[in-house]
Structure 1
Amino acid sequence: MLHGERMAPVLRACARVLQRASSKYGVRHLSSPGIEMPPCDHQPMAYSGPEYDHVRKVRNSNLNPALATHFKEPLLIHSGHMQWLFDHNGKRYLDLFGGIVTVSVGHCHPKVVAAATGQMNKLWHTTNIYLHPKIHEYAERLTETLPGDLKVVYFVNSGSEANDLAMLMSRLYTGNFDIITLRNAYHGASPYTLGLTAHGTWKYNMANGFGVHHASNPDPYQGLWGGFRDSPIQSTRANESKVEGGECSSAEKYVGQLDEVIKYSIPKGKVAAFFAESIQGVGGSVQFPLGYLKKAFDLVRANGGVCISDEVQTGFGRTGEHFWGFQGHGVVPDIVTMAKGMGNGFPIAAVVTTPDIAKTMSQALHFNTFGGNPMASAVGLSVLEALEEDKTQENCKVLGTYFLQELAKLRDEYPTVGDVRGKGLMIGIEMVSDKTTRTPLNSATMMDIWDSCKEYGVILGRGGLYGNVFRIKPPMCITQADVDFTISVFRHVLDKTVN
Structure 2
Amino acid sequence: MTGAWRHLLRALHLKTLSRWTPKTCSSLNAGAFWTSVTRRGLHTKPSMPPCDFTPERYQSLAYSRVLEIHKQHLSPVLTAYFPEPLLLHQGHMEWLFDHEGNRYLDFFSGIVTVSVGHCHPKVNAAAQRQLGRLWHTSSVFFHPLIHEYAEKLSALLPEPLKVIFLVNSGSEANDLAMLMARAHSNSTDIISFRGAYHGCSPYTLGLTNVGIYKMDLPHGMGCRPTMCPDIFRGPWGGSHCRDSPVQTIRKCSCAPDCCQAKDQYIEQFKDTLSTSVAKSIAGFFAEPIQVQTGFGRLGSHFWGFQTHDVLPDIVTMAKGIGNGFPMAAVVTTPEIAKSLTKRLLHFNTFGGNPMACAIGSAVLEVIKEENLQENSQEVGTYMLLKLAKLRDEFEIVGDVRGKGLMIGIEMVKDKVSHQPLPREEVNQIHHDCKCMGLLIGRGGLFSQTFRIAPSMCITKPEADFAVEVFRSALIQHMKRRAK
Q: TM-score, normalised by structure 1?
A: 0.87
**Offset of residue 247 of structure 1:** 4.3
Gaps of 5+ in 1: 1-16, 23-27, 282-312
1:234 to 242, 247, 256: 247
2:383 to 375, 397, 403: 403
Query: Match for residue 443 of structure 1?
Result: 423
One-letter amino acid of the structure 1 residue matched with residue 259 of structure 2: C
One-letter amino acid of the structure 1 residue matched with residue 101 of structure 2: G
TM-aligned CA distance change 1:105 to 1:18, over 3 Å: closer
Q: In 2, distance between residues paired with 1:111 and 1:67? A: 35
Query: Match for residue 51 of structure 2?
Result: 40
2:299 to 310, 320, 330: 320
2:337 to 343, 347, 358: 358
- DSSP 3-state at the match of 2:282: strand
Q: In 1, distance between residues paired with 2:138 and 2:406? A: 36
1:433 to 413, 428, 452: 413
Query: Match for residue 188 of structure 1?
Result: 199
Indicate whether 1:473 and 2:448 are aligned.
no
**Offset of residue 19 of structure 1:** 5.7
Query: Match for residue 314 of structure 2?
Result: 335
RMSD: 1.8
Q: In 1, distance between residues paired with 2:143 and 2:385? A: 47
Q: In 2, distance between residues paired with 1:194 and 1:41? A: 43
2:314–2:333 CA contact under 8 A, matched in 1 = yes
1:147-166 correspondence runs (5 A) = 147-166=158-177
**Offset of residue 241 of structure 1:** 3.9
2:442 to 462, 466, 471: 462
**Offset of residue 492 of structure 1:** 1.2
Query: Match for residue 402 of structure 2?
Result: 422
TM-aligned CA distance change 1:145 to 1:243, over 3 Å: farther
**Offset of residue 57 of structure 1:** 1.0
Deviations 1:364-410 (A, max 9, x none): 21110000000000000000000001111111100111111000000
Query: Match for residue 475 of structure 2?
Result: 495
Q: In 2, distance between residues paired with 1:324 and 1:337? A: 11
Deviations 1:41-72 (A, max 9, x none): 00110001100011011111110011411012
Q: In 2, distance between residues paired with 1:142 and 1:272? A: 26
One-letter amino acid of the structure 2 residue matched with residue 86 of structure 1: F
- DSSP 3-state at the match of 1:433: coil
1:241–1:250 CA contact under 8 A, matched in 2 = no
Q: TM-score, normalised by structure 2?
A: 0.89
2:237–2:259 CA contact under 8 A, matched in 1 = no
Indicate whether 1:271 and 2:284 are aligned.
no
- DSSP 3-state at the match of 2:286: strand
1:248 to 259, 262, 274: 259
Higher relative contact order structure (alpha carbons within 8 Å, sequence separation ≥ 6)? 2
Deviations 1:431-472 (A, max 9, x none): 000110100001111111000000000001010011110000
Q: In 2, distance between residues paired with 1:365 and 1:178? A: 23
Deviations 1:321-367 (A, max 9, x none): 00000100111100000000000000000000000111012112111
One-letter amino acid of the structure 2 residue matched with residue 474 of structure 1: P
1:226–1:235 CA contact under 8 A, matched in 2 = no
TM-aligned CA distance change 1:64 to 1:404, over 3 Å: same
1:404–1:427 CA contact under 8 A, matched in 2 = yes
Indicate whether 1:348 and 2:288 are aligned.
no
**Offset of residue 264 of structure 1:** 1.5
Query: Match for residue 102 of structure 1?
Result: 113
One-letter amino acid of the structure 2 residue matched with residue 229 of structure 1: R
**Offset of residue 266 of structure 1:** 2.3
Query: Match for residue 184 of structure 2?
Result: 173
- Structure 1 stretch 34-43 or stretch 332-341: which is displaced more? 34-43
- DSSP 3-state at the match of 1:248: coil
Deviations 1:287-334 (A, max 9, x none): xxxxxxxxxxxxxxxxxxxxxxxxxx2010011100000100111100
- DSSP 3-state at the match of 1:40: coil
**Offset of residue 34 of structure 1:** 4.6
Identity %: 55
Indicate whether 1:135 and 2:146 are aligned.
yes
Q: In 2, distance between residues paired with 1:347 and 1:209? A: 24
**Offset of residue 255 of structure 1:** 1.6
**Offset of residue 265 of structure 1:** 2.2
1:212-227 correspondence runs (5 A) = 212-227=223-238
Query: Match for residue 260 of structure 1?
Result: 271
Deviations 1:9-47 (A, max 9, x none): xxxxxxxx9969x9xxxxx99847352100000011000
Deviations 1:147-173 (A, max 9, x none): 121000000000000000000000000
- Structure 1 stretch 95-104 or stretch 28-37: which is displaced more? 28-37
1:19-98 correspondence runs (5 A) = 31=34, 33-98=44-109
1:148–1:332 CA contact under 8 A, matched in 2 = no
One-letter amino acid of the structure 2 residue matched with residue 274 of structure 1: F
One-letter amino acid of the structure 2 residue matched with residue 339 of structure 1: A
- DSSP 3-state at the match of 1:314: coil
Aligned residue pair count? 444
Q: In 2, distance between residues paired with 1:457 and 1:425? A: 19
- Structure 1 stretch 32-41 or stretch 136-145: which is displaced more? 32-41
- Structure 1 stretch 356-365 or stretch 132-141: which is displaced more? 356-365
- DSSP 3-state at the match of 2:407: strand
One-letter amino acid of the structure 2 residue matched with residue 109 of structure 1: H
* Structure 1: 4+ residue segments shifted above 4 A: 17-20, 28-32
Q: In 2, distance between residues paired with 1:76 and 1:267? A: 49
- DSSP 3-state at the match of 1:347: coil
One-letter amino acid of the structure 2 residue matched with residue 263 of structure 1: S
1:117 to 128, 135, 142: 128
Deviations 1:193-217 (A, max 9, x none): 0000000111121122311110012
One-letter amino acid of the structure 2 residue matched with residue 223 of structure 1: G
Query: Match for residue 12 of structure 1?
Result: none
- Structure 1 stretch 248-257 or stretch 433-442: which is displaced more? 248-257
- DSSP 3-state at the match of 1:68: coil
One-letter amino acid of the structure 1 residue matched with residue 348 of structure 2: N
**Offset of residue 236 of structure 1:** 1.4
